[in-house]
Amino acid sequence: MFSSVLIANRGEIAVRITRTLHARGLRAVAVYTDPDAGAPHVAAADVAVRVPDYLDGAAILAAGQQAGAEAVHPGYGFLAENAAFARQVEQAGLVWIGPPAAAIEAMGDKIRAKATVGPAGVPLVPGSSSNADGTGLDDAAVAAAARDIGFPVLLKPSAGGGGKGMHVVTGDADLDDAIAAARREARGSFGDDTLLVERYVTDPRHIEIQVLADAHGTVVHLGERECSLQRRHQKVVEEAPSAVLDGRQRHAMGEAAVEAARACGYVGAGTVEFVTNADASEFFFLEMNTRLQVEHPVTEEVVRIRGRRLDLVAEQLRVAAGEPLDYDQGDIRIEGHAVEVRLYAEDPARGFLPTGGRVLDLVWPDDARVDAGVAVGTEVGSRYDPMLAKIITSGPTRAAALDRLDAALASTTVLGLRTNLAWLRTLLAHPDVRAGRLDTGLIGRLDAPADTVPGDVLAAAALAGLLDLPAGDAPFDRLGGWRLGADPAPARWRLAPAAGASGDPVDVAVAGPADQALVTVDGRDRRASAHRDGATLVVTLDGATRGYRTAVADGVRWLARDGDAWALREQERLRAARTAGGHADGPLTAPMPGTVTAVEVAEGDHVTAGQRLVVVEAMKMEHVVSAPVDGVVKDLAAKPGAAVALDAPLVTVVPEPGE
């Protein structure tokens, strides 16, 4: 067994791999880029070496040799499924903790993968991927194949995954445009516009099988994971086992996955993905991921091997060191149920746009497994994946695991940036999710969440502001005043949603001291009291007591309770009065942290409502900032190639008279 491992990755997976390395007495070597110099994965490692980029294989190998590493674990993403990098690692004399490069190549191309596993009896979706001579399909051949298969069909890039370039076509009228769009997106994302066309399975479920193989011929499967709760083909919630599979279906799917692994000469941990119909009475091979999956913790939580818990990273290390698996399929048991959610820096109320900012406060649940890649003080930007952490719970039944997960999310706090935390609680409470009636389109059918600030939160923000007043700063000095022969005027705040949230400013008044106050919000007087208990603001409002975590930075007050969080900025009353008429004469701001990729106007230009002004990109997602009204461009701060923060001013459109 090697004694020192370089982790060619970042974030939560690098922290998670380090945990197993240290548990086995091995040395962990981290790599980091400049934005990650203070990241948790750097602090967790024994030694860390700077590299210019996580995709710079040569620099990563040089870092490993510099630090005395004997093996390389790629994690997932970045270079994890790069066959050339796997070969470079081995040529450099290091152990590659992953499958053979030939297996990566065979499974990395969807057309070649199907050609590899089909002869082994693995069920394939009816479709077409190449001409008789093996060449890729041109547009006419794709269209002909789609008509032969019958609509709906799914167009997919051969060279990549992650949902990029995939198009569902429901009829002949949309086919030509969909083919053109799929090729364009495939070329832009993967540098290869080869397409394949398949029958589209309606109401599909996404079920995957974890496999593990050693170099001595043993291949086993470790049960399935249900990954049907997806948004734009990106997984959001995963669980094990699936709520729909029975023993016969689980055996059939597991055997198919094992045969797929054998067909490509697989060694190590991998995942074979299948699509099924609603009741899983039929299933078809999708692809094989030749790496550790993001969702591997749910498998670890339920699999027992001769009574012991599973650590997939530990198994990867053993296999890479040449050790045989000391068990077979008959030794593997599935016990209980586990569910995982992915906590993202994104805003569900704004179409799940990526967000960012500095983590001001962080509270993880006690009764849950948390694989996290952030800490208080972490600056979350747009350069890397927006996933902050995975929160995993387990229980004897699916219902128990879901209940524990809801409680865990309710006790989680992230302040400083907007996340999908509260939305995850809403999703898990949906009747179809609770009943296990899942398909990959369920999330897309849900209504967008409301972006509102509850009255108790507004009251808590005002009371927190009252408690934060400096000593000697009397509340009645604040926008109210001392009045002869009368009680002091209430302290008044005008609170507006911040950090990208929408909504109108709200006036809140507080009369009296914080421990015996009358709060007026939404025109309603409410008895209240507030005090600090360590890091918690305790507020009693109309007899109901709640605790809030709070933080203040850059003029924004953050409050959290029950897994939700709000950002409020005190608005200057004179400015508020000027803009109360709803005129669009304020600056248009960045909808997400990212990079300005295009500026399509110049200072002084006359523009019309809806005209494109600026394009901001983050995580390969583009957002167009358009003119809200007819007007003239001024204060053009956006510059092509410049990085911008969330809500950074980009441009102002001064309305034409009468707008």
Which CATH class name applies to 4-97? alpha beta
For residue 619, the model assigns a pLDDT of 61
For residue 507, the model assigns a pLDDT of 93
**583-655 has which fold?**
OB fold (Dihydrolipoamide Acetyltransferase, E2P) (2.40.50)
Instruction: Assign 582 a pLDDT band (cuts: 50, 70, 90).
Output: very low
DSSP state of 233: T
- Looking at the chain, the whole-number percentage of residues with pLDDT higher than 90 is 75
At 375-395, the pLDDT tens digits run 999 999 888 989 999 999 999
At 201-220, the pLDDT tens digits run 888 999 999 999 999 999 99
Query: Considering the chain, what is the average pLDDT of its residues?
Result: 91
Are the beta carbons of 293 and 76 closer than 8 angstroms?
A: yes
* CATH architecture entry for 205-445: 2-Layer Sandwich (3.30)
In the chain the first and final C-alpha atoms are separated, in Å, by 73
Tell me the chain's radius of gyration from C-alpha atoms: 27
**126-199 has which fold?**
Dna Ligase; domain 1 (3.30.1490)
Domain boundaries, the chain: 4-97, 126-199, 205-445, 455-575, 583-655
At 355-374, the pLDDT tens digits run 999 999 999 999 999 999 99
Strands 27-32 and 4-7: parallel
One fold for 4-97 and 126-199: no
Confidence (pTM) = 0.84
Residue 576, pLDDT above cutoff 70: no
> Mean pLDDT throughout 477-499?
66
For residue 162, the model assigns a pLDDT of 63
CATH number of 455-575: 3.30.700.30
Specify the 3-state DSSP secondary structure of 199: strand
Are the beta carbons of 644 and 650 closer than 8 angstroms?
A: yes
Specify the 3-state DSSP secondary structure of 330: helix
Question: Which residue did the predictor score with more confidence, 323 or 381?
Answer: 323
Residue-wise DSSP of 449-493: PP----HHHHHHHHHHHHHTSPTT--GGGTTT---TTSPPPPEEE
Return d(Cα 275, Cα 14) in angstroms, integer: 30
